[in-house]
Structure 1
């Protein structure tokens, strides 16, 4: 019987090649989208699961209350790890202090590479369960050791055995390779970390760490830990919540105490998808994208199923006699249902095979856009089980309505020729078309709003001129030590307008300070400023706009105790005439000499943070160079490199463009926008395929009617209008439904941004015009073809 079902199904598919093509292609595209989204969701949900202790690894975090608002951060004071290790060893198996992942120069013989890595305490390999290729997880016990991944080992040592070899870091300190570990997957927290070296080397490289051994107010490090088996997360949080508060009270740090710090552990299984906090409450995060793309995947496959349903039921009259004859000779309705389901499942399996081919073709591009390293899980049985089960469900859903509808025909009426589809027979098809375009239009509106939000933020005034600025992270001392000579040489080259030093890049804020005092400050006001130390040329390099007072003057000795505020700082401090006012911080006293327009240095989606720019010739973290607008950038970079090499020949010249670094701040939103546009385009494609098939069937069904109308004088325009208006009406209904739905969801999404675009009416108007034009173009081919047909041929049988 099954063989018979398959034979008849193949025969029908061959007989109706056009509708089969539309069904198989539509289902294949829909399933390809579902598979791609499924791989993306799998990658997101498996983030960090590479680490074997994934369920017990935690990050130490803290809440701090600032003027009534609670903020959450993962930057910790230096003494915290030691206290937790000593006093709470019964709940923590490992406790690891870590620096932030940063670039350093690694030198071996004549090879010099810039690579990112961390300084971490010796238990890090065990905590991260690193898969060691050489050495073991105790490799960091030697204070001068470094462990590297396979990628760095190959790049630095080639085919040599790296074990025991000495690497010089930043031309300052030597580290001995004591282990090599496998590259961490891209979907892990530490995928950019090419090496780990010891905390002892960190202290030797940065002597200022020693002054922070008992400083609970300086939050500049990370702390990771692994809980003991059976440790209860809530009980641990309750036990450690006041650790910092007690110690800042002990040390008399009233400023840190005023922020009411609360320490807690945050499990690794929430780091990636659930890392968002609002006013001290964990509210979600990237998980919203998992839900969003999951829903999109379901809707896209539903669109393909709707195509199948519509074309199958539209051709019901053609198969009515077949049903009648089969029932007459004894076929049961259940057998007919099985027949139609077998056809549906066969089409779905063909669609699955084609979808895998489409996924293979699209995956490289999809990985690039999504910034992932996904691949089809060929060796994973679960992947194939899910695909086959998913295909079966799709086939059953797609074939359910046709099977139940076609099998219900009465044989007496069909064979007597009195069978009529009825005036409401097309209603289900119309409802499904409306549903198709409602989903597609909602996706289009959402995509436009995502791109508009990104563009709106990109167009936000940033307060400085990004074009032509090159920023260089200083990893070694010589260029800084010869800054005046470097500056003189670069200015003399004629290619550089100015060069400056600063403690933060123009696109980042590395330091935040509190505890400032000024005239008129409210006693209960808590302050927290972005604190940037700059050389006097910084203003000319950035091109900032001084709106009150003046900029720093290079040879003005008085400026060594001066400060420039941004607008937000002046407003926060409630200073109507800030120039000349005195600001104190501990024993230091600063005179405000100027106020600048706000510069967007951190997230462009948030308000600008109050910032203090302090004159400091020793600021050395970054060098920032403005190239003259009339100079070729390649020539300028060659000149800058030559000057840098003159004073520091051992260090590789590594630079970044400020405008490129700023553009990276939009990467996540642009990625979501591109993926949404891709899925929306495919949704429209699937919907249009169904519409094209429906229009083709209607033109075929109304051949004689069109012939009569042409004989009676109807023009091509009349017939085109007759064929098109029903479909346009359905799309208009879809627009009416989709617009408020899209408005509701996108308005909620925009609430996540403090600096956001408004939902304008023209977005919906443009979407309506585009949707109607697409519909008209899709239908017009068949409508015009029917209108141009020879009425003699269509009426010949009459």
Structure 2
């Protein structure tokens, strides 16, 4: 019986090649999209899940008392040690100054100078995070201040080997010598922490005094809890640890699962990092929608073709075929078609995976592992059953006498399959079109919004080596380069939060809530180089002598502090009097996900040189910068970054989602149009005699085309009525993730509606005109 069903299924596919091709291509496209999205989701869900003690690994967050929504990964550099000593249930705790705080450093060995990315971490870091050590003891590699732990990739670059390098010296920025205490395997791509080397946090504390103060916030804190520790009890015990250490009751602590941080946000204290779970859910739904659209095509076309197979079904029932046998036959046909589509889908995925990786920034490899194979089989079976179950149930239910007498008409089920499901398809397509347009406009808004400073044509590079201590001389020489408008230096990244603190006092200050200020350590001409605007007062200038005891506030800081006429007033910063000399207009140093925070600038210089360059002279200026840099710094590779690229990097997720949405929306629309094309072809074929009679009595091609197109246009209008409020609600919810966002303009819906109607007309009109132009003699000759 199974072999017979396969033969019948194959013959039916060959009998009507047009419908078979539409079904196979539609299902293959849907499966291709679903598989690619499944691979992306699988990669996202595996982020940071590979650590041996994942279930016990937590990150300590700091939040304002009574408001956990303000939780931030940044806290005091003293928190880790305090938790390890004062709170029960902690096996290990470590503070980390993450890689994104710092520029790439120059590491030297055997006359090789390599740029590398590093971080500072507490001595128990490798006990908490189970990165595999090739050499060294995880409990000892960060014990000494002069130790450095490097990746095997960096070891290969520096020493030409990955083993037997323990104890060898490495020059750090041609300044300090560290000795290799361990070598770890390159950090996996599915880790949110990416670095080439680790230095002891104790060394960082020795060179940065602020790290030893509770009032400052910046480092991250990780703990590995005891196996028997109840996280709820632990959180109650750790909540007031800052209060116990400082007497400040406004700062609370909360432990959150580290491996959840990537998906749910705040994985490294980055501004605007609200997590990826929203996009995982979004693309899960998108995959389901696209696969549903492909399955709906199959249902529509199969039920539409029912009239061709009614006599076959009637005869089978007369000779004794039971309904379960007929259902099994149609499901066999459905599964056969799905297997063919799956074979094409696998081929398409293997071709598209490199381009897909480029769009998503992933390193996904497509290999049929047992888990993936099982998931793929389940998708095929589920798709085949879903696509075939309704036609099977629909076609097998007819009474054989009515079938053979030709008394079968359109049923409610057939109406639902042909019309209700078409409405569903194009509702989804319309929602996707609106979503793509809104996402695109929000990305454009982000890119064009005034940030409060000039982010274009700003070059950044490290003030390292011989430049240290001679920044003023170097910057003056830099200003003389052709094309350079101005130059300065800073310790702040400019894009993203730096260290923040609550150590500010002023007359009339309210004790609650505690206000944290972002501190910008800058040199002279920073405001001018960045193109920032002053709302009142002045910026730092050598004309007024030493400005080291003065500060410049942003407008948000003035508002939060409740100051009127702030210029000239004296406030206290860490117990020292400082004078406000100016107020700079608000500028976005975080992403547009976040509202502007209180901030101030103070004169301190920095380890990052910034230079503004005239438009059109960037390449020439960079070459001259490299020559100057090499002259000052022999032995240091010159590497630079552009501020606008760093700004755009904040929105990588949105940009990738925008690109993926365009591709997948386009494919969903193509699949929908394929189904509509098939239905229009079948409708025209079914009504060919009616069309012939109408042409004989004088109907024009335009009349017949309009007649055949009207029914489909009604369905599209219904889908638009449903899709518009639904898409508005979905995209309004998405836009809530941004503190600064567009307003959804009505013309977006007008464009989406016109696009869908035009696509429908193009798809349906082709078949309608073809049918209308057919010679009526051929249509009526059987009469």
TM-score exceeds 0.5:
yes
Question: In the alignment, does 2:622 pair up with 1:628?
Answer: no
1:123-166 deviation line (CA, Å, top 9, x unaligned): 32232222233445346056233232233233333357461332
**2:400 aligned residue (402, 411, 416):** 411
Task: Work out the CA distance in 1 between the residues paired with 2:357 and 2:253.
Answer: 38
Structure 2 partner of 1:444: 433
Task: Work out the CA distance in 2 between the residues paired with 1:423 and 1:712.
Answer: 32
Task: Work out the CA distance in 1 between the residues paired with 2:710 and 2:114.
Answer: 66
Question: In the alignment, does 2:392 pair up with 1:389?
Answer: no
Structure 2 partner of 1:231: 229
1:715-766 deviation line (CA, Å, top 9, x unaligned): 2222221221211111110011111112222222222322121122111111
Structure 2 partner of 1:19: 19
**1:529 aligned residue (496, 505, 517):** 517
Structure 1 partner of 2:195: 193
1:598 to partner: Cα distance:
1.4
Structure 2 partner of 1:496: 484
1:212 to partner: Cα distance:
5.0
1:684 to partner: Cα distance:
0.9
1:702 to partner: Cα distance:
1.8
Task: Work out the CA distance in 2 between the residues paired with 1:767 and 1:311.
Answer: 26
1:678-698 deviation line (CA, Å, top 9, x unaligned): 221121111111001111111
Distance 1:361 1:172, change over 3 A: same
Question: In the alignment, does 2:460 pair up with 1:471?
Answer: yes
Distance 1:581 1:217, change over 3 A: closer
Contact preservation (8 Å) 2:433, 2:665: yes
Structure 1 partner of 2:534: 546
Task: Work out the CA distance in 2 between the residues paired with 1:338 and 1:771.
Answer: 37
Distance 1:480 1:497, change over 3 A: farther
Task: Work out the CA distance in 2 between the residues paired with 1:273 and 1:540.
Answer: 39
Structure 1 partner of 2:341: 351
1:514-545 deviation line (CA, Å, top 9, x unaligned): 34344554565643322213222112211112
Aligned Cα root-mean-square deviation (Å) = 2.4
TM-score w.r.t. structure 1 length? 0.92
Question: In the alignment, does 2:573 pair up with 1:585?
Answer: yes
Structure 1 partner of 2:670: 685
Distance 1:119 1:441, change over 3 A: same
1:419-464 deviation line (CA, Å, top 9, x unaligned): 4346984343101101111111112222222222222232221112
1:617-652 deviation line (CA, Å, top 9, x unaligned): x411321101123x5211100111111222222322
Task: Work out the CA distance in 2 between the residues paired with 1:276 and 1:635.
Answer: 39
Task: Work out the CA distance in 2 between the residues paired with 1:717 and 1:554.
Answer: 81
Question: In the alignment, does 2:605 pair up with 1:619?
Answer: yes
Task: Work out the CA distance in 2 between the residues paired with 1:555 and 1:423.
Answer: 86
Structure 1 partner of 2:316: 326
- How many residues align structurally? 773
1:181-225 deviation line (CA, Å, top 9, x unaligned): 2222222222x122223335445xx5334x754x32222322222
Task: Work out the CA distance in 1 between the residues paired with 2:134 and 2:574.
Answer: 51
Structure 1 partner of 2:74: 75
Distance 1:364 1:385, change over 3 A: same
Structure 2 partner of 1:400: 389
Contact preservation (8 Å) 2:487, 2:609: yes
Distance 1:299 1:572, change over 3 A: same
Return 110-119 or 511-520, whichever deviates more: 511-520
Task: Work out the CA distance in 1 between the residues paired with 2:192 and 2:340.
Answer: 39
Contact preservation (8 Å) 2:304, 2:414: no
Task: Work out the CA distance in 1 between the residues paired with 2:531 and 2:485.
Answer: 11
Task: Work out the CA distance in 2 between the residues paired with 1:339 and 1:15.
Answer: 17
Task: Work out the CA distance in 1 between the residues paired with 2:512 and 2:402.
Answer: 88
SS across alignment from 2:117:
strand
Contact preservation (8 Å) 1:61, 1:263: yes
SS across alignment from 1:272:
helix
Gaps of 5+ in 1: 250-256, 278-282
1:589-613 deviation line (CA, Å, top 9, x unaligned): 3333332221111122322222222
Question: In the alignment, does 2:487 pair up with 1:487?
Answer: no
Structure 1 partner of 2:244: 246
Task: Work out the CA distance in 2 between the residues paired with 1:153 and 1:301.
Answer: 47
SS across alignment from 2:321:
coil
**1:756 aligned residue (736, 741, 755):** 741
Contact preservation (8 Å) 1:50, 1:185: no
Gaps of 5+ in 2: 268-272
Structure 1 partner of 2:781: 796
Question: In the alignment, does 2:694 pair up with 1:712?
Answer: no
Structure 2 partner of 1:137: 138
Structure 1 partner of 2:265: 275
1:394-424 deviation line (CA, Å, top 9, x unaligned): 1111111111111122222332344434698
Task: Work out the CA distance in 2 between the residues paired with 1:80 and 1:464.
Answer: 35
TM-score w.r.t. structure 2 length? 0.93
Question: In the alignment, does 2:149 pair up with 1:151?
Answer: no
Structure 2 partner of 1:252: none
Distance 1:657 1:87, change over 3 A: same
Structure 1 partner of 2:85: 86
Task: Work out the CA distance in 2 between the residues paired with 1:37 and 1:783.
Answer: 36
Structure 1 partner of 2:634: 649
**1:594 aligned residue (559, 582, 601):** 582
SS across alignment from 1:63:
strand
SS across alignment from 2:219:
strand
Distance 1:370 1:423, change over 3 A: closer
**2:218 aligned residue (217, 220, 231):** 220
SS across alignment from 1:497:
strand
Contact preservation (8 Å) 1:471, 1:505: no
Task: Work out the CA distance in 2 between the residues paired with 1:151 and 1:72.
Answer: 36
Distance 1:85 1:775, change over 3 A: same
**1:176 aligned residue (179, 182, 191):** 179
SS across alignment from 2:130:
coil
How does 1:281-320 map onto structure 2 within 5 Å? Answer: 285-320=275-310
Task: Work out the CA distance in 1 between the residues paired with 2:632 and 2:705.
Answer: 77
1:769 to partner: Cα distance:
0.7
Contact preservation (8 Å) 2:296, 2:421: yes
SS across alignment from 2:543:
coil
SS across alignment from 2:480:
helix
SS across alignment from 2:496:
coil
Contact preservation (8 Å) 1:509, 1:532: no
**2:358 aligned residue (350, 361, 368):** 368
SS across alignment from 2:141:
coil
1:659-703 deviation line (CA, Å, top 9, x unaligned): 111111221212222222222112111111100111111122222
SS across alignment from 2:55:
coil
Contact preservation (8 Å) 1:140, 1:197: no
Task: Work out the CA distance in 1 between the residues paired with 2:412 and 2:470.
Answer: 89
Distance 1:421 1:612, change over 3 A: closer
Question: In the alignment, does 2:254 pair up with 1:264?
Answer: yes
Structure 1 partner of 2:50: 50
Structure 2 partner of 1:783: 768
Contact preservation (8 Å) 2:39, 2:364: yes
Distance 1:202 1:546, change over 3 A: closer
SS across alignment from 1:589:
strand
Structure 1 partner of 2:270: none
Structure 2 partner of 1:111: 112
SS across alignment from 2:536:
strand
How does 1:761-780 map onto structure 2 within 5 Å? Answer: 761-780=746-765
Structure 2 partner of 1:280: none
